[in-house]
């Protein structure tokens, strides 16, 4: 079975500390590897992870495909923004390397196709994170092996929304001949079902599964103590 075939119809769990929380206690490769192992035991078909250290630790701890990326910076193109970082993630053990596949300028000045070629030469596949259907089509033409809706709502070309972009999932599924991964603001089983109905090959969930910090922040406001904290 191929790497992408292994993802078909399944849940991919993203194991990443919150990017805006440098002191997140979960920010440790060993911890992320344990979280990933628990997710796989629960039925996850693959793991998505950030940074070579986490990718290597998780690859050693699980027997499912690992989607690796390397976030660098906080604005513009920051999901594996250069060919050099992409190759580093592949060399750390990622089966697929997630790369910003939008049409925005890349920090190294190289076209997306160059990064695709470099990752393929390193023995891994490329998952293009996009925000629009047009970007997805262009990424596939440049050689991407799969596309994900990860960046919908995070670029000037895509409106911000509270929930997942199911419309983009459907448009991509109809427009590209490669697997479409539904990612971005998926939080419950109902949304997962809707994504598959829209044509998703797999669904990626992150904070709602793997971040105690994120989950607790969403729950605390419903408590009397949380309400008092808001009024101070």
pLDDT digits (tens, 9 = 90+) for 56-109: 999 999 999 999 999 997 677 989 999 999 999 999 999 999 999 999 999 989
Q: Token digits for 74? A: 């906080």
Closest C-alpha to 12, from 217, 186, 198: 186
**pLDDT recorded at residue 161:** 84
Closest C-alpha to 200, from 221, 179, 226: 179
**DSSP per-residue letters across 211-225:** -HHHHHHHHGGGSHH
Angle at which helices 83-91 and 52-61 cross, to 10°: 30
**DSSP per-residue letters across 19-74:** TT-TT-TT-SHHHHHHHHHHHHHTT-SEEEEESHHHHHHHHHH-SS-EEEE-B-SS
Residue 160 has pLDDT above 90, yes or no: no
Write down the residue that tokens 């993802």 correspond to. 7
pLDDT digits (tens, 9 = 90+) for 163-172: 999 999 999 9
Question: What is the phi/psi pair of residue 78, to 5°?
Answer: -130, -5
pLDDT digits (tens, 9 = 90+) for 13-67: 999 988 777 888 899 999 999 999 999 999 999 999 999 999 999 999 999 999 9
Domains of the chain by residue range: 3-231
**pLDDT recorded at residue 1:** 67
Instruction: Tell me if residue 196 falls in helix, strand or coil.
Output: helix
CA pair distance 154, 132, nearest whole angstrom: 11
**pLDDT recorded at residue 232:** 55
- CATH match of 3-231 with 3.20.20.70: yes
CA pair distance 13, 43, nearest whole angstrom: 10
């Amino acid at each position: 079975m191929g790497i992408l075939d292994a993802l078909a119809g399944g849940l991919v769990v993203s194991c990443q500390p919150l990017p805006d929380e440098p002191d997140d206690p979960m920010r440790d490769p060993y911890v992320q590897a344990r979280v990933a192992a628990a997710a796989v035991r629960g039925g996850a078909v693959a793991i998505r992870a950030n940074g070579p250290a986490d990718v290597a630790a998780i690859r050693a701890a699980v027997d499912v495909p690992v989607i690796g990326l390397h976030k660098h910076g906080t604005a513009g193109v920051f999901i594996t923004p250069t060919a050099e970082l992409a190759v580093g993630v592949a060399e750390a053990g990622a089966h697929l390397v997630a790369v910003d596949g939008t049409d925005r300028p890349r920090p190294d000045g190289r076209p997306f196709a160059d990064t695709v070629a470099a990752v393929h030469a390193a023995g891994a596949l490329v998952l293009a994170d996009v925000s629009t259907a047009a970007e997805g089509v262009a990424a596939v033409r440049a050689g991407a092996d799969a596309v994900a809706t990860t960046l919908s709502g995070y670029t000037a070309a895509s409106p911000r929304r509270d929930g997942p972009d199911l419309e983009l999932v459907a448009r991509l599924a109809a427009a590209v001949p490669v697997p479409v991964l539904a990612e971005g603001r998926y939080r419950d089983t109902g949304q997962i079902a809707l994504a598959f109905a829209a044509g998703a090959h797999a669904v990626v969930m992150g904070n709602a599964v793997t971040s105690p910090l994120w989950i607790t922040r969403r729950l605390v406001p419903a408590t009397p103590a949380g309400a008092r904290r808001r009024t101070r």
